[in-house]
Amino acid sequence: MSSSEGPDLSVIIPTCNSFPHLPVTLDVVLDAWPDLEIIVVADAYTPGPALSEARTYQLSSDARIRVLEARGPKAHAVRMGFEAARGRIIAYLDADYGLEATAGCLHHAVRLIAGEVADCVAADRDQHDWSRIRKAKTCGFIRLTGLLFPRLPVRDTQAPLKVMSSAAAHHLRLCATWRSRAFDVELLHRLHCARFCMQRYPVRWHGQDGQRPWATAFLLAYTAPSMVVGLFRIRLTTLLRGPRVQDHPGARQ
């Protein structure tokens, strides 16, 4: 997944092809770190501009962008990005990252990994300007995750920014199932059980990530059942088959 000739940083951006603001996020990410590659993994089977915009950006603006076509859920897209990444540090973030966050947030998180402060850094949002519906959706998921995974050191598991060492990413590529809408929880839980050093990174982002309250309500109704089922499935699977707490040779002690 990584090589001595690869860049410092690989940033994976899974996106639905219908998302209309991908170039904004590409601009922000490119400003975050000088030696990087960006891997856009787009669903090519739905109509929309994201795939063509990524390819146009690659040809006209920056050849460090790589474009992959995927078919399937977000977890599958992120896994494809992990398998293609060549960087010594691996990050993944949402396509709407540029609408609410800054290049500085990603830069600081990468510095924590590069400085060997942690093996995995996960953003923790403060929700200061969120709608009530969005707060209810996120806080409800946080509470349920805390009940099922009480020792997990990361609170805001669904925050769209996670950065990790190549050793941590390699461990996940080998052992994670990548099958659930709640796959972020599985990834973080498996890193925790392998004793990778994990750190929450408090962030104060602005805006509604381009999403209106009615759209948040629709997404809540559409995704909440599968997210809850995914959480219980992950908990059950890890109880029956592991992972047991065991030091990983690549984890910081």
Phi-psi region of 89 (alpha: psi -120 to 50; beta: other; left: phi over 0): beta
Overall domain count for the chain: 1
Strand pairing class (161-165; 120-125) = antiparallel
Residue 194 belongs to some domain of the structure: yes
In terms of Cα–Cα distance, which of 188, 206, 184 is closest to 198? 188
Residue 249 belongs to some domain of the structure: no
Bridge partners of 162?
92, 122
pTM of the model: 0.87
CATH number where 184 lies = 3.90.550.10
Residue 150 belongs to some domain of the structure: yes
- Give the C-alpha distances (Å, rounded to integers) separating 155 from 83, 115, 197, 198, 208: 27, 23, 15, 11, 20
pLDDT in tens, the chain (253 residues): 444 579 999 999 999 988 989 999 999 999 999 999 999 999 888 888 998 999 999 988 888 999 999 888 899 999 999 999 999 999 999 999 999 899 999 999 999 999 999 999 999 998 888 878 778 888 999 999 999 999 999 999 999 999 999 999 999 999 999 988 889 999 999 999 999 999 999 998 875 554 555 555 555 555 677 778 888 888 888 777 655 555 566 666 5
| Residue range(s) defining the domain that contains residue 134 | 9-241
Render 211-243 in DSSP notation, one character per residue. Answer: --HHHHHHHHHHHHHHHHHHHHHHHHHHHHH-P
